[in-house]
Homo-oligomer: A and B are copies of this chain.
Amino acid sequence: MPSRHAKADLPLDQVRRFLEPGPVILLTSYWKGERDVMTLGWHTVMEFTPALVGCVIARGNHSRALVEGSGECAINLPTRGMADAVASIGNCSGTEVDKFAAFALETEPGEQVGAPLLRRCHAQFECRVHDRRLVDEYDFFVLEVVRARAATTPRNPRTLHYQGEGRFMVAGDSIGRRRLFTAGKL
């Protein structure tokens, strides 16, 4: 029987299905023997092919140095059952705490990057830094997703969407408007 965390490869141009709705993500990184994980809500899809994602990794974060040093990271997609971990990870620093141990985060190795992947997450996107022109001024990294894996079920994961003030909107049901779309616009 497959594990409930069993994942399949996802075509890279479908990464947008999971990121465009705007969930908080857990960004993992690894460099020179150190690893970290941070909660991140400021990101956007930027292109289908190559699969580009822009995200703000503020300089106060321990992860920032690991991403800068390695030029790599992984985006992991947490769901409702991980809300406590998501909030707690965002409120401590990897310079003081081994967050993987503190929050019992099971990891598995990536294929394209050194960053650990989070097993309980619904999806895992391995990324390389693609453009750092806006890093110095806005902490904004353009990442290219080079490998994507996603759980095959449920179809609509209950992702978490940060609203500020310690509150998260939990993804609700999905509605279809396909009849109003033209083929090239889906």
Q: Give Cα A168–Cα B20 distance, bound, in whole angstroms.
A: 10
Using known A-B contacts A138-B46, A166-B180, A181-B87, determine if residue A41 contacts B20 with beta carbons closer than 8 Å. Answer: yes
Query: In the complex, how many angstroms separate the beta carbon of A183 from the nearest chain B beta carbon?
Result: 10
A 150-186 to B, binary, CB cutoff 8 A, 1 in contact else 0: 0000001010011111111111111111111110011
Query: Nearest residue in B to A92 (C-beta to C-beta)?
Result: B182
Q: Check if A175 sits within 8 Å of B168, measured CB to CB.
A: yes
For A169, give its contact among B162, B174, B180 (CB under 8 Å). B174
For A180, give its contact among B17, B87, B174, B186 (CB under 8 Å). B87
Query: Nearest residue in B to A89 (C-beta to C-beta)?
Result: B180
Query: In the complex, how many angstroms separate the beta carbon of A19 from the nearest chain B beta carbon?
Result: 8
Query: In the complex, how many angstroms separate the beta carbon of A166 from the nearest chain B beta carbon?
Result: 3
Q: What are 9 inter-chain pairs, A to B, with CB distance below 8 A? A: A20-B22, A21-B161, A46-B56, A91-B182, A131-B138, A158-B172, A166-B181, A167-B176, A170-B172
